[in-house]
């Protein structure tokens, strides 16, 4: 931890002051001095990232180079950037960062397994982004920092705009990964999630090649030592359901599964906080009142400096970044054993999927490759049409390799360790979005706890006639009617139409993967 002028990365000699691994209090002080944001009531720091208030997947590129070219899943997810364009962009990013300005360097690890962690150096122009990195990744001790050697370097120039004609980008924003150079270039956007997810993409390339399954999931451990894994896209409850006071949190978003068990990639959490309540999510809500938490795009009263978590006028994607130790019941090592249960979370806005169901191994593979959730069409009055979202492996935007690579690894582990698999719908019942209602969080928590305590392992089930999954006949504390979504609709025939429509979407989407799986998996989807 020091302040000095230095070479911060190969080819980058800074002419301004370089702040090395400042602690949170110093970063707070510096961020306020530089007018990067505000300190709010309770102690968090708030930053606004508009106009980019979410990731820019269309602005993400992978450099085409001989060492990785044959392995990359090229297409809309991994758009190629040619080497000459990358070299021009790298040169311009270095020139931008080398100007007479303050730079903030943060040296961290990704991967809680001490035998497999990846040292990463982040170089950024903003103190609050350096604090975000401190929160989100694993923090080496002072002795290790003295001889820190990064395996990857992230050069972060949020205020720099790319030139599409010169750099081959789509717009002024860019996230460019070069696996050969072990370098990431990020610019044109202040949204901090790009820092986190660019490294997730890198780990999704490194770890499978080492025989470790990388997963977009949360994980926790019960008092008996049983590990559970929760897959799900944004908004499905991945963070909420894994942050359970009755179980210890391993991590809320990214994990690896090695021959020894599950380990967290991160040292913090990045939770959505829109309409967060102290009653529904007490541990996460408490972090929004803590010194050290970074709040992104949360609305602030300029007079009182109180935040309004219900206000979505900037974005629905309001976020809190905080170290995992802010959650009282967490696992300090970031590691757990092989999972006994895997839960696939979906927020079905069509209102037709059962709230909990057991999956066969083939159905688990089918739904893992499908990666289904549904998003509402918008918040404008009268707009009620759901939009189906299919994201392979519940994380397609972060997969540099073909989804079949991750699916094959998951299937092998499910079989080897006898893992039980479940589907949990945290979405709508009694009708689609705009007509029905979202399933109550306490009900979902009750069903998840019944899954994890083994209550449903041998419970009687019925087979859902559309989706073919096994729905428990009863769950203690849950109204029986809720378990049969068709019975919650005022017009069952409309339910049938909506369920058939969603089933057809599943089948159409799975045509992308059908040739790469066996017949049992192909036949494990909704009935045609």
Mean pLDDT taken over the chain: 94
527: confidence class by pLDDT, cuts 50, 70, 90: confident
Contact 231, 345 (CB under 8 A): yes
Domain 338-522 class, CATH top level: alpha beta
- Residue in 358, 356, 360, 364 with CA at minimum distance from that of residue 476: 356
Integer angstrom CA distances of residue 274 from 296, 306, 433: 11, 15, 18
pLDDT at 380 over 50: no
pLDDT grade, residue 228 (50/70/90)? very high
* Chain region(s) in the chain for CATH 3.90.228.20: 338-522
Compute the average pLDDT of residues 297-326. 95
pLDDT value, residue 385: 61
Mean pLDDT to the nearest integer, 343-368: 97
For the chain, percent of residues with pLDDT exceeding 90: 92
Question: At the top level of CATH, which class does the domain 271-326 belong to?
Answer: mainly beta
- Average pLDDT of 435-444? 95
- Residue 156: CB partners within 8 Å, gap ≥ 6? 122, 123, 124, 125, 129, 186, 187, 195
The residues annotated as belonging to the active site are 55, 197, 216, 234, 238-239, 253, 319
| Residue 164: count of CB within 10 angstroms of its CB | 13
At 188-216, the pLDDT tens digits run: 999 999 999 999 999 999 999 999 999 99
Q: Model confidence over 475-494: pLDDT tens digits?
A: 999 999 999 999 999 999 99
Instruction: Report how far apart, in Å, the C-alpha atoms of 246 and of each of 153, 207, 241, 312, 339 are.
Output: 38, 31, 11, 31, 17
- CATH 2.170.8.10 residue spans of the chain: 271-326
pLDDT at 384 over 50: no
Q: Which two tokens stand for residue 81?
A: 């950037």
CATH of domain 13-36+59-210: 3.40.449.10
Residue 383, pLDDT score: 35
pLDDT tops 70 at residue 377: no
pLDDT of residue 309 exceeding 80, the answer is: yes
Q: Which pLDDT band, with edges at 50, 70 and 90, does 164 fall under?
A: very high
Torsion, Cα 366 370 373 378, to 10 degrees, reads -160
DSSP letter for 209, please: G
Residue-level pLDDT at 7: 82
Average pLDDT score over residue span 8-30: 93
Whose structure tokens read 């939770």?
Answer: 271
Label residue 350 by pLDDT band (50, 70, 90).
very high
Question: Rounded mean pLDDT of 302-307?
Answer: 94
pLDDT in tens, 61-119: 999 999 999 999 999 999 999 999 999 999 999 999 999 899 999 999 999 999 999 99
Residue 100's pLDDT is what?
A: 85
């Amino acid at each position: 931890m020091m302040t000095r002028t230095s070479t911060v990365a190969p080819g980058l000699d800074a002419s301004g002051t370089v702040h090395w691994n400042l602690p949170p209090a110093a970063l707070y002080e510096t961020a306020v001095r530089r007018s990067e944001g505000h300190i709010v009531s309770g102690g968090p720091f708030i930053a606004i990232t508009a106009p980019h208030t979410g990731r820019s997947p269309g602005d993400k590129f992978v450099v085409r180079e001989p060492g990785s070219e044959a392995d990359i899943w090229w297409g809309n997810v991994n758009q190629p950037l040619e080497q000459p364009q990358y070299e021009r962009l790298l040169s311009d990013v270095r020139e931008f960062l080398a100007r007479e300005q303050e730079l903030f360097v943060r040296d961290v690890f990704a991967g809680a397994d001490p035998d497999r962690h990846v040292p990463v150096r982040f170089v950024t122009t903003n103190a609050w982004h350096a604090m975000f990195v401190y929160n989100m990744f694993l923090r080496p001790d002072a002795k290790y920092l003295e001889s820190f050697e990064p395996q990857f370097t992230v050069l972060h120039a949020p205020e720099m705009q790319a030139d599409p004609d010169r750099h081959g980008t789509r717009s002024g924003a860019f996230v460019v990964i070069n696996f050969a150079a072990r370098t990431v270039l990020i610019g044109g956007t202040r949204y901090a999630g790009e820092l986190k997810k660019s490294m997730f993409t890198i780990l999704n390339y490194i770890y499978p090649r080492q025989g470790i399954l990388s997963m977009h999931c949360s994980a926790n451990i019960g008092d008996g030592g049983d590990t559970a894994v929760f897959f799900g896209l944004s908004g499905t409850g991945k963070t909420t359901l894994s942050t359970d006071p009755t179980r210890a949190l391993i991590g809320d978003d990214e994990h690896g599964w090695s021959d020894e068990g599950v380990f967290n990639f991160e040292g913090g959490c990045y939770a959505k906080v829109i309409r967060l309540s102290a009653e529904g999510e007490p541990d996460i809500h408490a972090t929004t009142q803590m010194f050290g938490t970074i709040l992104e795009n949360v609305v602030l009263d300029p007079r009182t400096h109180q935040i309004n978590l219900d206000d979505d006028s900037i974005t629905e994607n309001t976020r809190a970044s905080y170290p995992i130790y802010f959650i009282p019941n967490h696992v300090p090592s970031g590691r757990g054993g092989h999972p006994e249960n895997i839960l696939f979370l979906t927020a079905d806005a069509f209102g037709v999927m059962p709230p909990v169901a057991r999956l066969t191994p083939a159905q688990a593979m089918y739904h893992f490759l499908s990666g289904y959730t549904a998003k509402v069409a918008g918040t404008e009055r009268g707009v009620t049409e759901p939009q189906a979202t299919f994201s392979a492996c519940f994380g397609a935007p972060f997969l540099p390799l073909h989804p079949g690579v991750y699916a094959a690894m998951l299937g092998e582990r499910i079989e080897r360790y006898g893992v039980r698999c479940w589907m949990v719908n945290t979405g709508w019942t009694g009708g689609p979005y705009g007509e029905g209602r979202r399933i109550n969080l306490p009900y979902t928590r009750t069903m998840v706890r019944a899954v994890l305590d083994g209550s449903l392992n041998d419970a009687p089930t019925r087979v859902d006639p559309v989706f073919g999954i096994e729905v428990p006949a009863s769950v203690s504390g849950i109204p029986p009617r809720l378990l049969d979504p068709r019975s919650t609709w005022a017009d069952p025939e409309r339910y049938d139409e909506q369920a058939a429509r969603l089933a057809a979407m599943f089948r159409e989407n799975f045509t992308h993967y059908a040739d790469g799986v066996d017949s049992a998996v192909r036949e494990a989807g909704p009935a045609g």
